[in-house]
């Protein structure tokens, strides 16, 4: 069986399949994938929230490639798409998903905003991890998670290959299984067929994003 067969199963598992609705604000989590910024702006421009937060400094995939914070680059993309600057908050200190949540909550509170429901925007293969992280660090918040509307086969592009996506997805699934014990996420059920796909991909050598 080709690795893509198992990887597509994991891709589907990572999706939360939430139905979006009106919320108090949108929180866009930074990364190397600027399509996440575009998705956040698109949701804002549909009128689903009165405010959008861009969160992220530099992370593992951007620290050697970008000279400005992910949040600042993402916000610029949103402004170019028509999002008003006065409807944007920028959180440019966080370097991981937990900090995205904690620091976004803090910057909103500093602005006198205490949301009850948000839309979180992330890469497709990080939807479930994002949900589990929000519910761990901000448990009272209702969070809907979305991502760029791309299939597993359409997601890779000139900046991220199919192989790279598989390595990262395998690592993210490992984190879903291990991070609850570290206090980083709430626990998520991993069905047997998903765990089996994970084990097969690890045996095939897709270990580049695993934590040791």
The continuous run of DSSP H or E covering 102 comes out as: helix 97-110
| CB-based contacts of 66, cutoff 8 Å, min separation 6 | 32, 58, 73
Instruction: Report the pLDDT value the prediction gives residue 62, as an integer from 0 to 100.
Output: 53
Mark the ranges of the chain whose per-residue pLDDT is less than 70. Answer: 58-67
Rounded to whole angstroms, how far apart are CA atoms 58 and 73?
A: 11
pTM for the whole thing? 0.94
Instruction: Report the pLDDT value the prediction gives residue 156, as an integer from 0 to 100.
Output: 94
Per the CB < 8 A criterion, the answer to whether 98 and 58 are in contact is no
The continuous run of DSSP H or E covering 88 comes out as: strand 88-91
Domain 3-148+155-203: give its CATH code: 3.40.50.620
pLDDT tens readout for residues 168-200: 999 999 999 999 999 999 999 999 999 999 999
Rounded to whole angstroms, how far apart are CA atoms 162 and 54?
A: 27
What does the mean pLDDT of the chain come to? Answer: 94
**Cα–Cα–Cα angle for 117, 134, 86, nearest 5°?**
55
Instruction: Report the pLDDT value the prediction gives residue 97, as an integer from 0 to 100.
Output: 93
Rounded to whole angstroms, how far apart are CA atoms 56 and 161?
A: 23
Name 29's bridge partners: 55
Instruction: Report the pLDDT value the prediction gives residue 1, as an integer from 0 to 100.
Output: 77
How is the chain split into domains, by residue range? 3-148+155-203
């Amino acid at each position: 069986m080709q690795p893509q067969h198992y990887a597509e199963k994991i891709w589907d598992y990572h999706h939360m399949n939430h139905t979006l609705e009106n919320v108090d604000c949108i929180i866009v989590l930074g990364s190397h994938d600027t399509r996440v910024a575009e998705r956040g702006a698109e949701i804002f421009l549909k009128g689903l929230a009165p405010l959008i937060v861009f969160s992220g400094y530099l992370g593992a995939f951007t620290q050697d490639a970008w000279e400005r914070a992910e949040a600042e680059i993402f916000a610029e993309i949103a402004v170019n798409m028509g999002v008003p600057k006065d409807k944007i908050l920028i959180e440019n200190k966080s370097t991981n998903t937990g900090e995205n949540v904690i620091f976004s909550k803090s910057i909103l509170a500093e602005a006198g905003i205490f949301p009850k429901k948000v839309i979180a925007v992330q890469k497709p293969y990080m939807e479930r991890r994002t949900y589990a992280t929000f519910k761990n660090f901000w448990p009272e918040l209702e969070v809907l998670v979305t991502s760029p509307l791309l299939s597993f086969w359409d997601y890779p592009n000139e900046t991220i290959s199919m192989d790279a996506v598989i390595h990262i997805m395998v690592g993210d699934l490992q984190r879903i299984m291990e991070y609850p014990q570290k206090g980083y996420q709430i626990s998520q059920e991993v069905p047997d067929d998903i765990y089996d796909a994970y084990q097969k991909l690890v045996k095939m050598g897709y270990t580049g994003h695993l934590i040791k």
